[in-house]
Structure 1
Amino acid sequence: MSVGSARTPGGAALAALLARSADGDAAAFRQFYDLTSAKLFGVIARILPERGEAEDVLQEVYVTVWRKAAEFDPARASPITWTATIARNRAIDRLRARGSRPSAPLAEAAEVADTRPGADTLVSNQQDAARVQSALGLLDPRHADAIRACYFDGLTYETLALRENVPVGTLKSWVRRGLVKMRHALEAAA
């Protein structure tokens, strides 16, 4: 749907078009749209400045007006006030629905700081991880598994001791001895 002219006729003419629309007169509804869409688009665009989004909401508004035309009461409000209220409420609903999504123009994207680590940091982290894995490979497999389970998987000594069917003190010794051997291996490699 395109946005119609900025001129709107009096309330009586619009009310008559709404009444005919309520009876299913598509031509009357099209005329109502042509006479009011510019005004309603302006209401929506003040709330939703992105044109495409405002046009989507405008279309939703006219679907609502078509379905609820029979509910319009000229004693309570003018046709333009009634439809403008629907438009305003739909635009606010859309604004709320998108929540905290950023809505800054694309041109401002270059000014947004990237907080992710740089490529050099990622490479360094990968190298560190490779050295740790290499040092773990030098350990007795049970000791290496205990260190992985405690430090990488977050298992407690108690949980791991039950899983390995050893006393907690034994498991702690495996981890302590394994960490000492790893430290020496890492220092030697540096």
Structure 2
Amino acid sequence: MTDVSTSCDHAALITRCAQGDQQALKTLYQHEGARLLGVVMRIVKDRGMAEDIVHDACLNIWQRADTFDPSRGSGRSWMFSVARHLALNAIRYRDREVGFDAEFSANGTDAEHDEGQEEGVSPSTPVSEAFDWQTGERIDECLKTLTPERRNCVLHAYVDGLSHAEIAEHTGTPLGTVKAWIKRSLLRLRECMA
């Protein structure tokens, strides 16, 4: 059985990508997509996040194909370094956002905290202030079902009022990933709230 990656001229295909050949990118993805996903999965340990990162890696490969230098290494190595770099950035982002997550959890609604509140006083979290009391409780529970990265993006967008581009800049996450996370998260929240 022949290894499909050795029968593929990665450098030539990357060069064709730099020239705008979409079929070249498709061929690269067909040859390496599953392996890229495997490498990224080992780093981030989350299938949804890994799929988003591989998507962004393919976009980066397409957009930065003209920066590939065959004298510095193989095309295949270059592709995997792009994916690994994005995966490691995602891990760093996740670690940076833990502080925000911890603050959300500390200020989130829970029965013990809420029982001690005076009647008529609204809960103190930004999310629950936007909704009535029962809806606020439900949205907090639904938000907790999202991964920290996706939850933070939703909160940055709908609580902090940041644009997708501002969230991408703030978090160091590619814009396409931010948009995908928010879109999927909103669908999940809608299902959870139904």
TM-score when normalising by structure 2: 0.48
Q: Indicate the structure (1 or 2) with the bigger Cα radius of gyration.
A: 1
